[in-house]
Structure 1
Amino acid sequence: MEAPAISAESLAVFEATKGFMPQDEGRVLYEIAYEYLSGGAEGGAAGGNAAAGRPPVGIEIGTYAGRSTVLLGEAARAAGGRIVTVDHHRGSEEHQPGWEYHDAELVDEHTGRIETLGLLRHTLWDAGLDDIVLPLVGSSPAAASVWSTPARFVFIDGGHSEAAAHADFEGWAPWVAIGGALLIHDVFPDPADGGRPPFEIYERALATGQFTEVAVQDSLRVLRRDSGELGAPMPPRGK
């Protein structure tokens, strides 16, 4: 099922929002999200929420100001689904003072830390997505520890440290429904192009035997889940 065109209004909000998702990757992200939320993907995402009379759910790990969230929300609105986006909104390691992606405008005077929740709220308002995108504010491991809902897809684009990336994979990949998709951003096979942890969890997902790569757009990888028990822990690293 072909995704409808992204509205000019949503594209304008996407372009105006702080973040790191290029438009070409963003368009593929939108198309994949629509495909899996609408049930048009091969395999149909068995075990998704729609079977229980609830809207299908996609999960985003790593929200920042909501740039990619706009496109996920637009896809969910078109497909009759919902997006849960998870972030503590204090910034990842690379956003802190002295690091490459630090933005001094985002430092909260009260805490002295990066603060992006307000920006996300503005983004969702401008895109008309308040009822479609549900922010879950907290660390990824803490949120995963209480999560129990199957997802049509999980999009991992959170912290890029080794600990953060592997925690995101371990916490959220188990909730991808069979026939659903695991999407990983910033996957660079060549270390000269970017950090290794997203590539490591991409390789780890393939090594489980539960996932098959079905699409690539620059640093975005899309893996379909073919097997495994919903909610069961992923095999340990190196297994």
Structure 2
Amino acid sequence: MSAILGTQTVGTGRSAYFPRPRLVERKRLTVQPDGNSRLVYLTDPEGLAVESYRLLRRRLCTLHPEGGVVLMTSPAPGEGKTLTSMNLAWALAEANHATCLLDLDFRAPGMSRVLDYGFDEGGVVEVLEGEVGFDDALRQLGDHPLDALGIKRRLSSPGHLFQSTAMNRMIASLRTMYKWTVLDFAPVIPMADVSEMLPYVDGAILVVRAGKTEKSMLEPAMNAIGTKLWGVVVNDCTINGSAYYGDYGKRR
């Protein structure tokens, strides 16, 4: 019943295919609350941190009411971009926006680790290489319209995937299936992955951490993203003596 949008052979001799939207019963991911995880929708659903993500969602939806594919990155590892990606995706789905959370940090897939993603069929790499169907690999997260696709097999050199027709077809399919697609991506420095992925996305959000991100790395990261930069999220701010997770501001 699903139309095939296109195929692309990548390495294995198999073809990747991506269907148009259809109603399916997806396997669910069970996420256990962990006080140290900063998955604030689970650990502190009424707290200030959750409200900060709701504010981020409102600003994002006001500026981009049509939705889109947004790449989440950071100047360097350890800035909090994975948990910001996850909590933002949860916030979007909470508002009944159909959302997909995708782990595309092939070298260090933090989202898949935090979620303890189950790989009965496979992950992003297996989908792109045609070893498993797209619908089969997606998982439902929580009770909101939120699906997730993780990484089973790490890659030290994922450049061939960014340049593949399969990647283009996957992103095109995601656009038809979801209002928002949140990509948890690799840091800007020192890899060139971000520049290869930017043509596929509508915009990028740069995640930095107060007291950690070096100013000398911030400007090069912003320049690398260029006109696709939608804004900057500052983690671990302090407002009136309270910890605050996110502040979303447009580039000036």
Q: Give the structure-1-normalised TM-score.
A: 0.44
The higher-RCO structure (CA 8 Å, 6+ apart) is: 2
Q: Give the structure-2-normalised TM-score.
A: 0.42
